[in-house]
Amino acid sequence: MIAHLPFISIDVHARPAIVKLVLASLALLLAITALRFGTYPLSTDTILRHLFIGGDGIERVIVIEHRLPRILVAVGAGMAVGLAGALFQTMLRNPLASPDWIGFTPGASFGALLAMYLTGGHIILGALAGTFVAATIVLGHSMQGGLNIQRLIIIGIGANLTIAAGADLLLARVDLLTAADMAKWLVGSLNGRDWTDVALIWVGLAVLLPLALWLEFPLRTMMLTDDVARGQGIAVSATRIWVAITGVLLVALGVCVAGPLPFVAFLCGPIAKALEGGSRPALFSAALIGAIVVLAADYIARLTPLVQLPAGVFTALIGGPYLLWLLVTMARKGRIT
């Protein structure tokens, strides 16, 4: 259906729009639930009062300093990581090609770990540096008259192995208590997030989300083959580079604030595509699904009484089996590449 707005006519398809609306509502609902219910009992009145009027005391701490930033970071990180995953999957034309295993996410987490080890802080810088080094090496060596996708995947897998060895080496070099803290971090956690993390992820998203959505247009055309896209006048190489840069930044930001949450980057793209139907990349829906998954995982992590595991364990529990099931069914249908 064509929506006629002043100056612009937009071709709006019903189903994707409905899907996005539903997902956004779901995310909002989940966020509100997570804000309202937790281990510390609070009434709706109290929460609303602290949110909009202000107050002090422990209740304010729980609402404003603990739950709200944590939820906002979960949504932001989930969107960033889901988006990054969908971007790479679309660009590489393979639902299995996720930044998790072409070395970017491991690069980010290893960089942060190294920064923690060497300086005891500077996690942001470490994550950014790690992602950039990994991305430069992997992308750089995949360039050969444009981005050679096959090369990218293989070098990425090799990078994964090497970086994992580096992280293991680090774990073995420190004393056991520090290793235990590091091991926690290697799984992805939203504990202790504060407003600086919120600012970081949302400022990043403010820039990168529109960029990614704008890139969806050329990406859509590139989904078949390069020739078709070129025929339509799309600068294939330049688009790929922009997609790569956007994806890398999103990954770095996501890891900075939430650690390397397993499988989120992978899951969102295929689910979004399946929901929206058709063959569109469904980037925004993927972002929303990422937000929902991370929010849900963190909420479950928060609610488990007395034994607090990091959110990453739950994204792994959700994502791992799903991934395996998806792979087996895809294999049966012969749809892996």
Partner 1 sequence: MLKHVGIAVLVSTMLAGAARADFPVSIPHAFGTTDVPARPDRVVSISLIGHDFLLALGVTPIALRKWYGTDPYGVWPWAQDDLGDATPVVMQGEIDVEQIALLKPDLIIAQWSGMSQSEYRILSMIAPTLGPKPGAGDYGTPWQDMLRRIGMATGTLDQAEEIVSGLDNRFAEFRDSQSNWQGTTATMAWSGSVGAYTRHDLRGQFLEALGFVIPQAIEDLAGSNEFYATIAAEDYSPLDVDALFWLDTGGQAAKLQALPLRFTTRAYHEGREIHIDPLLSAALSHSSPQSLHFALDAVVPLIEAAMDGDPATPVPTSLAAGIAP
Partner 2 sequence: MTVLADPHPPARRQRALFRILILVAVLTVCAIFLGYQTRGFSDVASAIFSYDPTSADDVVLRDIRIPRIIGALLGGAALGASGALLQAMTRNPLADPGILGVNAGAAVGVVLSIIILGITNPAQYVWSALIGCAVTSTLVFLIGGSKNANPMRLLIAGATVMVVSLAAIRAILLLSRQTLDTYRFWVLGGLDGVTYDMVLALAPFLVAGAVLTVVCSFWLNALVLGVEMARGLGLRIWLVQLTTLVAVVLLCGATVSMAGPVAFVGLISAHIARGFAGGDAKWLVLLSACLGAALLLGADLIGRLAMFGGNMQAGVMSAIIGGPVLIWMVRRQWPTHT
CA 27 to CA 77: how far, in whole Å?
13
SS3 category, 4: strand
Contact between 183 and partner 2 per CB under 8 A: yes
Contact between 20 and partner 1 per CB under 8 A: no
Radius of gyration, alpha carbons of the chain: 20
Contact between 307 and partner 1 per CB under 8 A: yes
Q: Which helix (H) or strand (E) holds 8?
A: strand 8-11
Among 148, 178, 191, 221, binds partner 2 (CB under 8 A): 148
User: Which residues contact residue 288 at a Cβ distance below 8 angstroms, ignoring those fewer than 6 apart?
Assistant: 20, 23, 24, 26, 27, 79, 82, 272
Contact between 169 and partner 1 per CB under 8 A: no
Determine contact, residues 121/115, Cβ cutoff 8 Å: yes
Q: Nearest distance from residue 137's CB to partner 1, in Å?
A: 25
CA 291 to CA 24: how far, in whole Å?
9
Helices within 149-193 (DSSP H only):
149-173, 176-185
Q: How many residues bind partner 2 (CB under 8 A)?
A: 58
Kindly tell me which of 47 and 138 has the beta carbon lying closer to partner 2.
138
Contact between 122 and partner 2 per CB under 8 A: no
First vs last Cα of the chain: how many Å apart? 32
Contact between 153 and partner 2 per CB under 8 A: yes
Interacting residues with partner 1 between 107 and 166 (CB under 8 A): 120
| Binding residues for partner 2 (CB under 8 A) | 94, 96-97, 100-101, 137, 141, 144-146, 148-151, 153-162, 164-166, 168-169, 171-172, 176, 179-180, 183-184, 186-187, 226, 262-263, 309-310, 312-313, 316-317, 319-320, 323-324, 327-328, 330-331, 334, 336-337
| Binding residues for partner 1 (CB under 8 A) | 38-41, 58, 61-62, 65-66, 120, 173-175, 177-178, 180-181, 184, 189, 191-194, 301-302, 305-310
